[in-house]
Structure 1
Amino acid sequence: MHATPAYDNDNVFAKILRGELPAHKVYEDEATLAFMDIMPRAPGHVLVIPKTPCRNILDADQAVLSCVLATVQKVARAAKEAFSADGLTIQQFNESAGGQVVFHLHFHVIPRHAGVPMKPHTGDMAPSEELREQAERLRALIS
């Protein structure tokens, strides 16, 4: 069995939580933060993270997971409506072998349209103005 590495307080999401890096925020409460993915795989692609430091689902407390999933659902409902989506893809990756790149628990909420494939993960960043406008659309629908 492999030992799980310690949480890295300098990961990009920890820096966003501390306000050291900018983010187009969609929703925030005492336990979670939702913000636009800067490398979206579809319009309206949002990331939902806990404010509690945890690498992924394997070391997250169940109470933390409960809060995160409640926010995922809230954001998913808004994303489906805001982007007139036919459906949603919710993704969550754990450890490098599972596809995880940023080692802070996060869920991807991606609006989907029938017959339209997700863009590949190329590392290309979306224009900030585009993300700002999408975040505004989502915030208007989240209560």
Structure 2
Amino acid sequence: MNTKIDSVFQKNTIGLGKRKQAIARVFLVPGEGNIVINKVSGEKYLQYNLTYLKDIWAPLKELNLEKQFDIIALVRGGGLTGQTESIQLGVARLLCQMNPQNRSVLKPFGFLTRDARIKERKKYGLRKARKAPQYSKR
């Protein structure tokens, strides 16, 4: 890899985002507004879904920085929605790390809130977490 990108992939320049089973490591590189997810273009990875793309760009749009940075994300686990929301959280956290004043702008929009809802564990005697076998009276 070239030295420009190597300097970006440092531990202190990572924005970590999580949602359900998805974990995203996000890097912001000075650029013209491209998204790269797992070494694939963001549009192709997210199946050209405009809602997902808007969700990822939302923190940068609020700060009017959408054309100044490229987003590079390494994501694993979960589905596309969980991965999108984890990237969004990673971007927001990274922006706050770069400039602490960004926090007051992003906080009211909920970009810094980790959605803690995860799948409930299966209980014994049940089919799923809460689904019980059919009750038979006789």
* Larger-gyration structure (1/2): 2
Query: Normalised by the size of structure 1, how large is the TM-score?
Result: 0.26
